[in-house]
Amino acid sequence: MEISKFVAPEIIFGRGSLSQIGESVVRIGVSKVFLVSDQDVISSGWVDRAVEYLQAAGLDSVIFSSLTTNPKDCEVSEGTARYLESGCDGIVSVGGGSPTDVAKAIAILSSNGGQLRDYEGINRIIMPLPPMVIVPSTAGAGSEVSQFTIIVDTERKLKMSIISRSLIPDIAIVDPELLRTKDAKLAAATGVDALTHGIESYVSLAATPLTDIHALKALQLISLNLRRAVADRADMEANASMAMASLTAGLAFSNAILGAAHAMTHQVDGLLDQHHGETNASILPHVMRFNLTACPERFRDIAIAMGEDVTGLDLLSAAERSIEAVQRLIADIGLAKGLAQLGLEEKYIPLLSRNATKDACLVTNPRSATCADIEQIFLAAL
């Protein structure tokens, strides 16, 4: 019989659940909190709210927010130094994927030492990490439940994928209220990130029945709610559904890993400092077309999950409907741009392609991809 593992943190979900942060941190044995966030989330008032709940539980906190959209190794080094001198014994992130990735990376270096690139790849973390509670403020990254952290290596100008069960937070608190303060462009970009997670995890070579359930549910929710969430940021029903979609997609990709789209976007984002979701929007349909013949049954399932009527179609035609559905969704939310429009010059494609072949996400892509294959996908996405 086949044996598979599925890992997940404790999850607290619902409007107003940020109020559970103090009790949650106390429960996992933390006495002083190192709180990682960014300036946008701080300006929105959510960090002040979190600090109030921590104080009500008798906890002091130190705030670290010196990070950027695509967090960098130098920012992690600064954060690690701050953590080690702060007297804190646990880490909380309130924010999107960037603060969460930085929080996890600080946890690695503060307990294991060395340089971040020492942990690039899969299962290279040895020592236990500090306790972590993650509160996402966007619906896309899924980092609050994943065993991933993605950090830019500034010397190599690429994103490092660090994957380990040690990176699963102790508790994820998903409060859809935090999504209200994000603008439409960010809602669109993060939503496409969740969409890509759902699709890549469903066609992954490491997919299991457990990850399939979460991946397909995420795709259903995104197809029904992303347009609404982008059109009306006050639509809390759509926001709550997108928060759930991001969470379920996160559970799927954390356990099934990803594929060529993420292997490629990691390189572009590291070079251009572009928002990850926008890069995914440019690359995903072309990777889907490349992978289509490797598992057409799975792409047919994706089409159905996204609301396509495939009645009477042959397998390949039904599978192709998934690409059409993705392209329509991306166009409807205003992200239908080529990589050239995002600033990528063709001269960088050979380097980006070589780096993509070394990305851990490529291992589980359903179709083997050579450097030449990846170059062709990049060119098609320009």
- How far, CA to CA in Å, does 132 sit from each of 277, 280, 303, 345? 25, 28, 37, 39
Assess whether the region 10-178 and the region 183-381 belong to the same CATH fold.
no
Q: Could you read off the pLDDT of 292-311 as tens digits, one per residue?
A: 999 999 999 999 999 999 99
C-alpha gyration radius of the chain: 20
Instruction: Quote the pLDDT of residue 212.
Output: 98
Residue 157 pLDDT: 86
* Prediction pTM value: 0.95
In angstroms, the CA 197 to CA 229 distance is: 18
What integer pLDDT is reported at residue 80 of this predicted model? 98
Q: Are 185 and 138 in contact (CB under 8 A)?
A: no
Position 222 scores a pLDDT of 98
Domain edges within the chain: 10-178, 183-381
Assign a CATH topology to domain 10-178. Answer: Rossmann fold (3.40.50)
Distance CA 360, CA 257 (A): 9
Per-residue pLDDT of the chain (382 residues; tens, 9 = 90+): 578 889 999 999 999 999 999 999 999 999 999 999 999 999 999 999 999 999 999 999 999 999 998 899 999 999 999 999 999 999 999 999 999 999 999 999 999 999 999 999 999 999 999 999 999 999 999 999 999 999 999 999 888 999 999 999 999 999 999 999 999 999 999 999 999 999 999 999 999 999 999 999 999 999 999 999 999 999 999 999 999 999 999 999 999 999 999 999 999 998 987 889 999 999 999 999 999 999 999 999 999 999 999 999 999 999 999 999 999 999 999 998 999 999 999 999 999 999 999 999 999 999 999 999 999 999 999 9
CATH of domain 183-381: 1.20.1090.10
The reported pLDDT for the residue numbered 94 is 98
CA–CA separation, 130 and 107 (whole Å): 6
For 157, list phi and psi in degrees, rounded to 5.
55, 50
